[in-house]
Structure 1
Amino acid sequence: MADIDLQAVHDTLVSVAFEAGRMILAANPSKISTDTKLNAVDIVTETDQAVERMVTARLREAHPTFAFVGEETYQPGVTRVTDAPTFIVDPIDGTTNFVHSFPNACISLGVAVGRRSVVGVVYNPFQDLLYTGIKGKGSYMQRNASLEEGKGLGEKVRLPLGGENPTALGDLSSALVSIEWGSQRDGENFDVKVKAFQKLAASKESGGGMVGGLRSLGSAALNLCACAAGQLDLYWEGGCYAWDVAAGWCILNEAGGIMVSGNPGAWETELDSRVYLAVRGASGGQKELVEEFWNIIGDGKMDYKH
């Protein structure tokens, strides 16, 4: 990795993200062609596909030796994240939000080396909100990110938003936790989620976690960025792919957050494990909150195929 200029790669990704953002904003969700993959809630649009084609062309021209993994060109059982330097791309993360014109969708551009996320760029064009991270150089958030100097360009703020010594985490009763239903709506994985959601919300007197609040942003990348910013305490997900989490994972790590397995007991998880639990940066309490969350899941275990 020493011979890869991560800053230059980052700068290319930011430029590509802004171009993708313009394409997304130019689309009219009520008039574009929409199809489904797994089922009715697993949506793909012609804009997803057009954005990925543009991103692929731009990135392969800039860095032709890098491998490429994208959501819309993924082949089940064939496409793998290897140790090679790899662009990992989700052209529109939050497609359901996008087709409803709900302004929580983004382009997620990650780079992995040795199957570890080392650069992340996540851009929400509807809010002109940019998150970036480079391994060893921190992560940042910027509002009005695409505007010119003197015309509203926002300050680039280092994450987490609470500063270098973010507050310690308490227990679940004070935690703001993000969860997602995902596109698989039956079977054992779905049952694990439903039971965990119910137990998280239930009172302590009935054996629950009495969680402070549950949120669903509808985008894995934006969930991770909110966790990196310190706006969420935890984010639990099963069913995502590497392109959903690669960029946000780097941003989270550089903000002092951690990613562990979404299944109880595993403190290490792979980029393409498909089961994740993210915890914001904190001056204390990360380990304790993870263990409390795992206790809520109990013997449940999610298992997703590639």
Structure 2
Amino acid sequence: MSDTINLQEIHDTLVAIAFEAGRMILAADPSDISTGTKMNSADIVTETDQAVERMVSSRLQTAYPSFAFVGEETYVAGTTHITAAPTFIVDPIDGTTNFVHGFPFACISLGFTLDRVPTVGVVYNPFQDLLFTGIRGGGSYMQRNASHQLPQFPPQRLPLAGKGDASRAPALGKLSAALVAVEWGSQREGENFEVKARTFRKLTASNENGGAGSMVHSLRSLGSAALNICATAAGQVDLYWEGGCYAWDVAAGWCILAEAGGRMVSGNPGGWETELDSRVYLAVRGAAAGQSEIVEEFWGVIGDGRMDYQH
């Protein structure tokens, strides 16, 4: 079936849907919309999340009625599964907490998978009019002024370093020279939380005068897994480590990262291959050299710690 699927057409459809979703998100007033929580007070959902997902689902089911659809707001634990079938995997607003607070790092994440492999990815931040796209085998791009139609604000479409030209991306060195993206996530107790807290401390602690830390340049938290992965794909950060997010948070960004020569491995030590729905991830930017070495160094910081999240 994959030979008969027009990936460019799917890409173009997802971009159009992303722009429509962006208009809905920008039109919403976070101070005047219904807001609720899921797992706890850090796991927020709004009526805008739900309205955007309904629009996306309707558009995609009309255009591709035989394809599966997995969305964050309609996911049912223990019932919803990602199969090998052609599947759209959607997060209507990734970064809902940012959206509610008016912090301009939220996006719609639209992924398409074949055989559980991220194959098309579209991530759009309407607050910055910033679009990331990727097609498996077709490269990935970052586009500023993405929706502008005015001649004084022409779109700027920049190719991200691809698999074949990763040599033009700077080599990765030691963690001490890295900028690392992380997130606390919504689970704020238990062993997963403790693994994160210990690792964050070791990443930032001094390595001078006998110190046991890695002393990375710094940690960054954009508040959106999709945008963190895209920042890694664009080389704006060197790595992104996460535990607790879902397939809809990573599917689109994963395709964009892979097409930029980046690599996705497990967020737990030793896992050079990780599943789309593993819930633990370590993304590494494209580089002329040093990917495997920095992964192993990062895993060494985690040590014996393991994150384990249920579906």
What interval of TM-score do these two structures reach, taking the shorter chain for normalisation?
Answer: over 0.9
Match of 2:48 in 1: 47
> C-alpha displacement at 1:149, in angstroms?
5.7
Q: Secondary structure at the match of 2:113?
A: strand
Q: CA deviation at 1:151?
A: 4.5
**One-letter amino acid matched to 1:293:** F
Match of 2:145 in 1: 144
Q: Does the alignment pair 1:273 with 2:278?
A: yes
Q: Does 1:21 align with 2:30?
A: no
**Cα distance in 2 for residues equivalent to 1:164 and 1:200:** 27
Q: Residue 194 and residue 125 in structure 1: after superposition, are their counterparts in 2 closer, same or farther (change >3 A)?
A: same
Identify the range of structure 1 (2-11 vs 141-150) with the bigger mean alpha-carbon deviation: 141-150
How many positions carry a matched residue from both structures?
306
C-alpha offsets along residues 195-222 of structure 1, whole Å, 9 cap, x if unaligned? 0001111112321111111000000000
Amino acid at match of 1:231: Q
Deviations along 1:99-141, one digit per CA (max 9) or x if unpaired, are: 0110000000000110000000000000000000000000000
Percent identity (aligned): 71
| C-alpha contact 2:243 2:307 (8 A) present in aligned 1 | yes
- TM-score w.r.t. structure 2 length? 0.97
Q: How has the CA–CA distance of structure 1 residues 109 and 301 changed in structure 2, closer, same or farther, with 3 Å as cutoff?
A: same
* 1:109 match: 110
Shift of 1:259: 0.1
Q: Give the C-alpha shift of residue 160 in structure 1.
A: 3.5
Query: Are 2:181 and 1:183 aligned?
Result: no
SS at match of 1:30: helix
Distance in 2, matches of 1:262 and 1:275, equals: 5
Which runs of 5 or more structure 2 residues have no equivalent in the other structure?
Answer: none
Q: Quote the Cα distance in structure 2 between the aligned partners of 1:240 and 1:113.
A: 20
Cα deviation 1:47-77 (Å, max 9, x = unaligned)? 0000000000001111111100000000011
Match in the other structure for 2:248: 243
Q: Go from structure 1 to structure 2 and tell me whether the alpha carbon gap of 1:285 and 1:164 turns closer, same or farther (over 3 Å shift).
A: closer
Q: How many Å apart are 1:97 and its aligned residue?
A: 0.2
Structure 1 spans left out of the alignment, 5+ residues: none
1:146–1:153 contact (8 Å) kept in structure 2: no
Corresponding residue of 1:79:
80
Q: How high is the TM-score relative to the length of structure 1? A: 0.98
1:228 maps to a residue whose letter is A
4+ runs of 1 displaced by more than 3 Å?
160-164
* CA distance, structure 2, for counterparts of residue 34 and residue 164 of structure 1: 46
Any residues of structure 2 matched to 1:1-306 within 5 Å, and which? 1-148=2-149, 150-160=151-161, 165-204=168-207, 205-306=210-311
| CA distance in 1: counterparts of 2:211 and 2:288, whole angstroms | 31
CA RMSD in angstroms comes to 1.2
Asked if the contact 2:232–2:285 (Cα under 8 Å) also holds between the matched residues in 1, the reply is yes
Partners of 1:2 and 1:164 in 2: CA distance: 30
SS of residue paired to 1:44: strand
Helix, strand or coil at the partner of 2:31: coil
The one-letter amino acid of 1:74's match is: Y
Distance 1:3 1:144 in 2: 33
